[in-house]
Structure 1
Amino acid sequence: MTADAAAAGRPRQVSRVILLDPADRILLLHGFEPNDPADHWWFTPGGGLEGGETREQAALRELAEETGITEVDLGPVLWQRYCSFPFDGRRWEQDEWYYLARTTRTRTDMGGLTELERRSVSGARWWTSEELLSAHETVYPTRLAELLRTLLDDGPPGAPVVLAPEIV
């Protein structure tokens, strides 16, 4: 959470990316609690807005930093959600917007990770919808498998879908 958001009692403003390759696989990052690597999960690339960035600018910057992928077609906002979770010794409250993006590049380069990300991200993987639907691992948002299947079957929604809050 930025100091301004925390001081104002507002959630951190976050842009996330639902990045799909030509085979409709989604890219997820593998993260873990820095002090407890056994506590791990998969999540979409993205992060907090910096300075006067727009949400779109933050989505593209975060994607480039976390994956090295810059050749993308950024699409509409698919989903919005509020989440709150413990991580690295503090509670994070976030207002997240999920953007659809497509790329033909599938090789990732995680050289742009922040110090905290280097301590808590162990890799990236492209997932098919079927793999995600049958996964027994923790994935955030928790309904991602279902949401991805709907996206692939029906296309992007006409307006962003507001997801139920997730409090961990």
Structure 2
Amino acid sequence: MTSEPFRTRTFAAVPAHLRPHKTRRGVRVVVTDGASVLLFHDTDPGVPGSRWWITPGGGMDPGETEAQTAVRELAEETGLIAEESALIGPVMRRVVLHGYSDQVCEQTESFYVLRAERFEVDISGHTADEQQTIAGHAWLPLDELDRQSEPVWPAGLAALVASAPDPQSWPGDIGLVEESTVPVSPPRPLP
């Protein structure tokens, strides 16, 4: 598959082997008040009933640093205005494959942690795509993340928050992971 630039999605399901493959760099921000974490309930409109939880964040714009992307994405997605100096990290880096019904997104991403008092989330800055896919948001208790009925991405989010105060315990570069509603590689037929 060739890499294509990001553009507005159609959300129409495409056969797995025909989905376009897109690549980008991104930054995610784990916003925590110490007991809970702010997450968005995401969906794939091409897979009715699909739901999972994600942290705020998104793709880097040309010329941006990771910290600039983090504070811009927080402002756009949550309404929170944060200072770059308040970010902890990057606490983790990875390459993630997201298999959606209409595309495959390969994102090289960095995670930062931001400690903040709970605030009222403002989603007025969401993009058209986010308005279609984001089904809500919540402050979920850290000790309940592993018991959610839908996946929480990234896996091990509570441990990531717990590691933030100590740079020696940060996971660092964890390599390639997959978080998909439609697997990136379809299963091979049995002979």
Q: TM-score, normalised by structure 1?
A: 0.83
Residue 135 of structure 1 deviates from its aligned partner by 2.1
Aligned length: 160
| Corresponding residue of 1:76 | 89
Equivalent runs, 1:1-168 vs 2, <5 Å: 3=5, 11-21=23-33, 23-71=34-82, 73-87=86-100, 89-148=102-161, 150-151=162-163, 155-158=165-168, 161-167=172-178, 168=180
| Corresponding residue of 2:188 | none
Structure 1 residues 55, 26: CA separation in 2 closer, same or farther (over 3 Å shift)?
A: same
Contact kept? 1:68, 1:112, Cα under 8 Å: yes
- Deviations 1:70-93 (Å, cap 9, x if unpaired)? 145222211111111223511100
Structure 1 residues 122, 31: CA separation in 2 closer, same or farther (over 3 Å shift)?
A: same
Q: How much is the aligned-residue C-alpha RMSD, in angstroms?
A: 2.4
Contact kept? 2:71, 2:82, Cα under 8 Å: no
Identity fraction in percent: 33
Q: TM-score, normalised by structure 2?
A: 0.74
Q: Greater CA radius of gyration, 1 or 2?
A: 2
Contact kept? 1:133, 1:146, Cα under 8 Å: no
Structure with more of its chain in strand, by fraction:
1
CA distance, structure 2, for counterparts of residue 91 and residue 67 of structure 1: 25
Contact kept? 2:22, 2:105, Cα under 8 Å: no
